[in-house]
Structure 1
Amino acid sequence: MDAAASRIWDVIVIGTGIGGGTVGRRLAESGLSVLFVEKGPDLGDQFSDGLPSGIDPPEERLAQGIWPQRIRAELDGTWCELDGMIAAGVGGTSLFYAATLERPERHDLDQTDSHPHPTGGWPVGYDQMAPYYALAEHYFSISGEPDPLDPSAPALPGPARALPQSDAALMEDLRRAGMHPYQTHMAARFLPDCANCFGRRCGRRCKMDGRSAGVLPALDTGRAALIDRCTVLRIDAGPDRVTGITCQRDGKQIQLHARHYVLSGGGLGSPSLLLRSTSEDWPNGLGNRNDLVGRNLMFHLSEIMAVWAGRGAAREGASRSISMRDLYYQQGHRFGTVQSMGLVAGYGEILHAMNTRFDRSALRSLRPLRHALRIPAMVGAKVLGNAKVFVGVLEDLPYLTNRVLPGDDVDRLSFHYDVADELLTRRAAFRKAMRAAFRPHRAMFMGSAPELNFAHPCGTLRFGTDPATSVLDPDCRVHGVENLHVADSSFMPTSCGVNPSLTIAANALRVADRIAARTRAPLAAGDGLGY
């Protein structure tokens, strides 16, 4: 620790999730010295059954890899607390993610006549991102099948996987119905006797995440170091440069220094830290001259549907195999992908869905009727067999009023979010399209209220060419701050219709090359990957 504090690093990376781990690895492979600073512990190769919840003491939460305090949120005017959505540990929330890494579509980034973009497109287009998507797919060992609807779909580094019989049969049924399913793009090396670690912390490093695909390979270069259990209190800056970061570890404050700094604290954590980093030069927070830090908060809406595909599904169990993009963009509506979740829905899931519908019905005051729902749930589970669970990932769009809220508590994240009327309209159309897509099979939505995916916060430090409308420039450098870049989901000006992880990783590689270019020649795509 003392050695790290006394040294001036080439780059300090704050956060070790998908963005932080990836940018740090690329920088270390480029020959630069890198220091990772992580709020949570390095939990090593311990296996864990998902991101824990229901734990109260902050110290115990942090020891388990959870953010120390629950997230405080104002949703449609009602305050609540959210648990088990943000991790804190080496690898970040990616330690517990489902490892679905898919490219967005070209029209997500580019403005086209056939697919007009609601924000006019990104400042960096699809063709500029494509080499970095390919590089990220190698970093994360992506396997699966190309999307049959994309005539220029790239080959993936990993081979297609053997499908469970019930998944293969369901894919054939969907094809006969005119759909175009393909194997979901997964970030994993499928080792012999590999456990199903999607949604769990992997103990064998078969699932590729911010730690296994980023931090550990960076440390293996000998040019990177890690400080865990270290909270960054503020980023210290003058009028146009960061001069250091003030951290707390084991009850002591320390300062760390580098030539360049990369903020990778996530869509909620990164803007919160910038808002706390006030000074005479930055009275409203670092990078916040135009009151944009923390604004334009987006998630995805998750439309969860149980699909009964026959009794074989119950015997084979859960499988995360199937994706479809037939509904991605329809009649001017920006929807998103549909994919299996790696879950099966049996009696408990059916009963939960029926109870949810009952609680929103005109009969909700007749509580004895609610208990009677157990009987039809049991009958349904027995007659239909366990169902496969699918999720529709519905794109969210940016609004200035949806924002991360400032606060002085370094362990408390807060935000305000209102569900927009246009999102509700698109949601109704998306659900209708999903019902039609699965019509050959019995299917049921697992809820009726809008369900935000709080693990996908993004857009809160959006990049662009104009400082009046963006926080970051096209290289993801904070406007007006020469040596501070951002490499996490907060850079995204729209959420796209897929899981954000691959886009975060690809952009992190692009940011790393921009930083390396300022110091020495960057690696060519494909160099130093170790495959």
Structure 2
Amino acid sequence: MKQSRKFDICIIGSGAGAGPIAYELAKAGYKVGVLEKGRWFKETDFFKDEQLGRHSVFRSQFKDERHTLEEPNGDGSWSSDTTSQFWGGNIVGGASNFMSAYFHRLKPQDFRLVSEYGNIEGANTVDWPISYDELEPYYTKVEQLVGVSGKVVEHPHLEPRSSKDFPFPPTAEHPVAQRFDSACKGLKLHPLPMARGILSQPFNGRLSCEYSGYCGSYGCHSGAKASSRAALLDTATKTGNCEIVTQAKVYRLNTDDSGKVNSVDYFDLTDNDKSVRVTANIFVVACYAIESSRLLLSSRGKKHPDGIGNNHGQVGKNLHCCAGGTGHGVFELDKLKSFEAKQLKTRGPFFNRALQDWYEIDDESVSDKPIKGGTLDFVFDPPSPTSEVSSLKWQGENLLWGTPLKQRIKSHFTQSKDFKFEVFCDWLTNDECYVSLDPDEKDRWGQSVAKVRAGFHPHDERVAQYLVDRGIEVMKAMGAHEAWGNVFTQPTSNLVAGGCRFGDDPTTSVLDRNCRVHDCDNLYVTDGSFMPNGGSVTPTFTIYANAFRVADSIVERFAKG
């Protein structure tokens, strides 16, 4: 085994949960080591090419390591499949390179679901150990430092803010946004300009958005997207205090007789998988929720016979994805006025609109008391003409070719426009959604792969369907000639959180309120694993904010000695 040098703090992973820790500790003068399994890619490596989305070069290789997935069949049995779908991004900056960067804050009620709405039978819902007010200054810090563009407008569910507006103006707006606003106001709704973790102006050496349309699932060519690498790690390394070790496949945390972590082992993928050991005073795990649970479960020791943090069997429990659905509105261009058709054909600017009128649902047709609802984000998909053409060759069970196929392709691209909405609501934590180690399957290095059981609560489906129906109503009010939507119950390939829930009670949580493992004094987990619930928005903004909060507590700890 090759011995590496010692750091003050060693961070495993480099995404949204890792970047703030590295940035703040390096800036404070401490020696930071970041171990990243993937490679370092820069803006010049991200091309505007539909074939280069989450390309295999940016992900873990299916042949080397996989996740085993179990899903309910609907009859009480479970299907078992092997999939790599949970790899969000295997490069410096992690999945934050490929996000769409919808940056909604959680709201105060998200921190106290039980207190606000009561317990739901079959769900493991809990209140957070911290409040919205404790996290609010860090949301503001992310907006200013990582870079969030938008405009604050008054609406019934606007969360409290310490700043009046976002530090960067909204990104360029698609002309059809005005059509959306008019339709929503006719329905007595409150359309929101959607905040984005995308720069509308150059900042800190990063360029502003180029409006190519290649955003969600694509790396950002200009550096405008608020990836952990572009926004934080590039700056952290320039201090001289932060070293990022790439192609470092971490496989074990080692603990001493007292139960503290004293070193971490990784395979050096650049040197024939040679095992390397790194020592530090404090360790931070931020590998993405599933892999963070896997690493803790795999790290057994004298004080941790079932894995670090797992003395009460909580590691891997209470995993959650993002419940919801999607919907579409199709506009037939030849049935619109010429200027309306021209507007819909415009490419480039974002359609930055969201609805949160149903963040709390107070409708007797759904429940006899108010329940937690969700968010609808309205978007255009990134350009993907090749995949769209491929899907058009099938009409039901019939394969088209020749003139019929040509006519259908021409119609698709010149005579109609597809407009989309995405629904986000809580995936209630439950006993049938968790991460464990697969007893049979090993990865290329002989380590047990993560096994994910992805059971969902029927309450989520009911809430999602209500929101999908509202989205369809908005599409029709906009004048869509066809509108439809569907609810999904399968786990999302990204937006996964939980597994190392934080809380004040060690018997029901893995981490304390500062995201330190209850039974391991010098180990923290700062990716989305800490979240008791995901709220009804995408979680990246909150992961960033919480990591900055934890970074402050670690800096304070070092200062005390």
- Bucket of the pairwise TM-score, normalised by the shorter protein: 0.7 to 0.9
Q: Which residue of 2 aligns with 1:104?
A: 106
Q: CA deviation at 1:350?
A: 11
In the superposition, relative to structure 1, how do residues 72 and 354 fare at CA in structure 2: closer, same or farther (>3 Å)?
farther
Distance in 2 (alpha carbons) for counterparts of 1:241 and 1:400: 29
Q: CA deviation at 1:306?
A: 1.3
Which secondary structure does the structure 1 equivalent of 2:422 belong to?
strand
For residues 206-225 of structure 1, the aligned pairs below 5 Å read 206-225=224-243
Q: Which residue of 2 aligns with 1:58?
A: none
Q: CA deviation at 1:301?
A: 2.3
Distance in 1 (alpha carbons) for counterparts of 2:263 and 2:54: 36
Q: Is the 8 A contact 2:197 2:226 kept in 1?
A: yes
Aligned length: 504
* Stretch deviating more after TM superposition (486-495 or 318-327): 318-327
Which secondary structure does the structure 2 equivalent of 1:519 belong to?
helix
Q: CA deviation at 1:291?
A: 1.0
In the superposition, relative to structure 1, how do residues 518 and 391 fare at CA in structure 2: closer, same or farther (>3 Å)?
same
Matching residue's letter, 1:455? N
In the superposition, relative to structure 1, how do residues 163 and 106 fare at CA in structure 2: closer, same or farther (>3 Å)?
same
Q: Which residue of 1 aligns with 2:90?
A: 88
Q: Can you list the C-alpha shifts for 1:344-402, whole angstroms capped at 9, x where unaligned?
A: 7999869969989x7xxxxxxxx45999x989977985897202211111221111321
Q: Can you list the C-alpha shifts for 1:232-260, whole angstroms capped at 9, x where unaligned?
A: 11000134311110111022111101111
Q: Is the 8 A contact 1:143 1:188 kept in 2?
A: yes
Q: Can you list the C-alpha shifts for 1:80-132, whole angstroms capped at 9, x where unaligned?
A: 34445422110101111112221011100135866557634210100000011
1:386 aligns with 2:417: yes
Q: Which residue of 2 aligns with 1:322?
A: 353
Distance in 2 (alpha carbons) for counterparts of 1:26 and 1:17: 14
For residues 414-493 of structure 1, the aligned pairs below 5 Å read 414-440=451-477, 441-442=479-480, 443-445=482-484, 447=486, 449-493=488-532
Distance in 1 (alpha carbons) for counterparts of 2:58 and 2:414: 41
1:136 aligns with 2:146: no
1:65 aligns with 2:65: no
In the superposition, relative to structure 1, how do residues 147 and 350 fare at CA in structure 2: closer, same or farther (>3 Å)?
farther
Q: CA deviation at 1:15?
A: 0.2
Distance in 2 (alpha carbons) for counterparts of 1:333 and 1:454: 27
TM-score, length basis structure 1: 0.86
Q: Can you list the C-alpha shifts for 1:138-195, whole angstroms capped at 9, x where unaligned?
A: 1221011224312745421111233121122222222232121122111122327453
Which secondary structure does the structure 2 equivalent of 1:163 belong to?
coil
Matching residue's letter, 1:278? R
In the superposition, relative to structure 1, how do residues 482 and 205 fare at CA in structure 2: closer, same or farther (>3 Å)?
same
Which secondary structure does the structure 2 equivalent of 1:134 belong to?
helix
Distance in 2 (alpha carbons) for counterparts of 1:111 and 1:513: 27
Q: Which residue of 2 aligns with 1:284?
A: 306
Q: Is the 8 A contact 1:40 1:65 kept in 2?
A: yes
Distance in 1 (alpha carbons) for counterparts of 2:530 and 2:104: 18
Out of 170, 185, 198, the residue aligned to residue 175 of structure 1 is: 185
In the superposition, relative to structure 1, how do residues 342 and 214 fare at CA in structure 2: closer, same or farther (>3 Å)?
farther
Q: Which residue of 2 aligns with 1:79?
A: 80
Q: Is the 8 A contact 1:267 1:490 kept in 2?
A: yes
Distance in 1 (alpha carbons) for counterparts of 2:107 and 2:558: 33
Q: Is the 8 A contact 2:253 2:265 kept in 1?
A: yes
1:148 aligns with 2:141: no
* Stretch deviating more after TM superposition (273-282 or 339-348): 339-348
Q: Is the 8 A contact 1:179 1:437 kept in 2?
A: no
* Stretch deviating more after TM superposition (32-41 or 399-408): 399-408
Distance in 2 (alpha carbons) for counterparts of 1:378 and 1:50: 18
Q: Which residue of 2 aligns with 1:527?
A: none
Distance in 2 (alpha carbons) for counterparts of 1:295 and 1:51: 36
Q: Is the 8 A contact 1:317 1:344 kept in 2?
A: no
Out of 530, 535, 541, the residue aligned to residue 496 of structure 1 is: 535
In the superposition, relative to structure 1, how do residues 490 and 52 fare at CA in structure 2: closer, same or farther (>3 Å)?
farther
1:399 aligns with 2:453: no
Please tell me the root mean square deviation across aligned C-alpha atoms, in Å.
3.3
Distance in 2 (alpha carbons) for counterparts of 1:244 and 1:102: 37
1:122 aligns with 2:137: no
Which secondary structure does the structure 1 equivalent of 2:39 belong to?
coil
Q: CA deviation at 1:521?
A: 7.7
Distance in 2 (alpha carbons) for counterparts of 1:512 and 1:51: 37
Q: Can you list the C-alpha shifts for 1:173-225, whole angstroms capped at 9, x where unaligned?
A: 22232121122111122327453342211132121101111211111122111
TM-score, length basis structure 2: 0.81
Matching residue's letter, 2:469? K
Q: Is the 8 A contact 1:166 1:312 kept in 2?
A: no
Q: Is the 8 A contact 2:142 2:544 kept in 1?
A: yes
Which secondary structure does the structure 1 equivalent of 2:524 belong to?
strand
Q: Is the 8 A contact 2:194 2:354 kept in 1?
A: yes
In the superposition, relative to structure 1, how do residues 16 and 345 fare at CA in structure 2: closer, same or farther (>3 Å)?
closer
Distance in 1 (alpha carbons) for counterparts of 2:355 and 2:524: 35
Q: CA deviation at 1:500?
A: 0.2
Q: Is the 8 A contact 2:393 2:399 kept in 1?
A: no
Q: Which residue of 1 aligns with 2:341?
A: 311
Distance in 1 (alpha carbons) for counterparts of 2:53 and 2:170: 34
Q: Can you list the C-alpha shifts for 1:432-482, whole angstroms capped at 9, x where unaligned?
A: 233334341325335465353220111110000001100001110001101
Q: Is the 8 A contact 1:68 1:411 kept in 2?
A: no
Q: Can you list the C-alpha shifts for 1:284-329, whole angstroms capped at 9, x where unaligned?
A: 1111111111111110124111124652454113634111111222
Distance in 2 (alpha carbons) for counterparts of 1:176 and 1:370: 42
In the superposition, relative to structure 1, how do residues 313 and 79 fare at CA in structure 2: closer, same or farther (>3 Å)?
farther
Q: Which residue of 2 aligns with 1:265?
A: 287
Matching residue's letter, 1:399? N
Q: Which residue of 2 aligns with 1:236?
A: 254
Distance in 1 (alpha carbons) for counterparts of 2:344 and 2:113: 44
Out of 175, 183, 192, the residue aligned to residue 165 of structure 1 is: 175
